[in-house]
Structure 1
């Protein structure tokens, strides 16, 4: 509906691979198994380079294109979509803002084209959400031609498949928080398999342990002098795109159930019942509102003449889509009745997975407060 021809081609490719992503999604959820094969296929086929600009060899996807393919992928498996989505968002933001020096951008582009995946790792148990401004306990100290990094990070999503971590650490030399590129295979890097939540169980958002990890000086990729909070970042819309896709999957399941379930108390399927049709109509209304809000904000961001008009729409889009997704799945489960509570029914997985979005940035309370302050100016 909103995607460019190149994004539509990728959507078609993903649709052809639907079974590859969906067949074992329930088993992966039950066993907390990371979709290594699926993420590997995406990386090997260039999905991780979709938001890399064309001048660096990537596909040059816009934010709108990104959310279109992410929404599609999330209808198959939310954990897979969220895990790979961080790559798309980080790469898009990194090259749009030119956050690193030219040599590093050229080099990491070659790595991305080679299938490398990377993610930012800022969360720590003691600081809570990094969006709230806590000082990391992870430290980086210069020792000759190296930085020595020590710390313990949480929520290292996609960790088994990452080639690089972008780690925040307190650096006395800069009297502030700096960002360091840490290779997965560096000595002293270990993963502690702690991820055992009710939602997004297959994302492998485990703990990252850094014990005297030595990286070259030029792996300090963003120092404390760079402002972090003023920048609009439309690439974070990969997050609500994921939850929109999960909501769409719930709607699809519920509609199929309504069209095929025919209890012997009636002469047709339950799709003919007025109360069931009301449920379906409510889901459609929510999805229309979510999709149009999300994509209109994305298109405003992509249009550099309209982008300056954005104030709090990016955060509001995430809040709207997430809460809408929660409502859609609730309605779908009401439509399907007690069947939706069976562990074999995907609705219960969708119900759990969307709850994770409450804890993805931006946080709802911060967004609502910003909207209020903007209104009160």
Structure 2
């Protein structure tokens, strides 16, 4: 199965659907054992998926944000942890290609490696600062000496750490008020992955701690300096709600199939014919339709927007994440109500969907920050 041979989004969705079925058959085992899905990631590499957001000038397909979120959603129907993991790599490459903030030779080198199968993710969260979206200054430090940088610190939630080839590490630049992003290859001396991921949700993401001990890198590996005004809207983060919507749709599909087959001896036929069950199924479908339309339309708007318009889309993007993620949680809850107590069995996929979908509440942007942003937009519009 090669996504590179597919010429249309419909063909790629069909191929991704086939991959998702394979991932679904392994998802329970990875979840129960808390193991990283190496086989899934390799399958995505072999299918060419990890190169699809590379800009065309560097040999990639440069797919649209709309196509990315559709593919991510389909992937998440098979395994949410795999989808969320690879989504960071896919989105970061897309974002770097759009914004062009890195020196061209460095980004060209990364794209060349990605085309060969390399994977990249950022490492920004720290125990003392929490989510980087809250604005805390990193305690990871970068000191410049003799044309080199030395970094020391610890990063948490480094998703996909077992297979990453590059880490984008945020660090406070010694002697200044600046924060920099540093590109660190995995084979750099002083890099250590500490196996700390013990979450009950998204157990297969391998989001362990990244430890940097006297890590020395070349001067050009400072790929960008971050200022207070650099928190601009990021369309690529829509891969997050796409993932949770995919999980919800998997739960919806499972519950409907269950209702078609389950026939307690207290009724004639199956529970699919019961008005109370139809009510819940109808509510799930309504929620799924609303979430899909909101997510897809925002992605298309981003794709079609000029740069000036994109800079005004922050409130919309936050609203999509908040709405779609919370709606996905509601869909999974309704699916569990259809299935009943069986949904709590460890053998039932719904209990995994329930745990995984709630992880979306803790991905950026946070709900409270989005509400504040929407409030400010509404207030400003009335002035």
TM-score range, shorter chain: over 0.9
Residue 240 of structure 2 is matched in structure 1 by 239
Residue 139 of structure 2 is matched in structure 1 by 137
Q: Quick one: which of 344, 365, 368 aligns to 1:341? A: 344
Q: Which moved more, 1:214-223 or 1:277-286?
A: 214-223
Q: Compute the displacement of 1:11 (Å).
A: 1.5
- Deviations along 1:61-104, one digit per CA (max 9) or x if unpaired, are 11100000000000000000000000111011111000201111
Alignment check: 8 A CA contact 2:19 2:75 kept: no
Residue 18 of structure 1 is matched in structure 2 by 20
Q: Which moved more, 1:68-77 or 1:100-109?
A: 100-109
Alignment of 1:212-361 (within 5 A): 212-224=214-226, 227-229=229-231, 231-305=232-306, 307=310, 310-361=313-364
Q: Distance in 2 between matches of 1:113 and 1:354?
A: 31
Is the partner of 1:202 in helix, strand or coil? helix
Alignment check: 8 A CA contact 2:156 2:210 kept: yes
- Deviations along 1:226-261, one digit per CA (max 9) or x if unpaired, are 8421x2211100000000000000000000001111
Alignment check: 8 A CA contact 1:90 1:119 kept: yes
Alignment check: 8 A CA contact 1:52 1:109 kept: yes
Q: Distance in 2 between matches of 1:133 and 1:6?
A: 40
Residue 209 of structure 1 is matched in structure 2 by 211
CA RMSD of aligned residues (A): 1.5
Q: Distance in 2 between matches of 1:232 and 1:183?
A: 27
Distance 1:224 1:291, change over 3 A: closer
Residue 193 of structure 1 is matched in structure 2 by 195
Q: Compute the displacement of 1:185 (Å).
A: 1.3
Provide structure 2 residue ranges, at least 5 long, that are not aligned to the other structure: 1-5
| Count of residues paired in the alignment | 373
Q: Distance in 2 between matches of 1:53 and 1:232?
A: 20
Alignment check: 8 A CA contact 2:22 2:78 kept: no
Q: Distance in 2 between matches of 1:173 and 1:45?
A: 46
Alignment check: 8 A CA contact 1:82 1:242 kept: yes
Q: Distance in 2 between matches of 1:117 and 1:182?
A: 12
TM-score, normalization: structure 2? 0.94
Alignment check: 8 A CA contact 1:43 1:117 kept: no
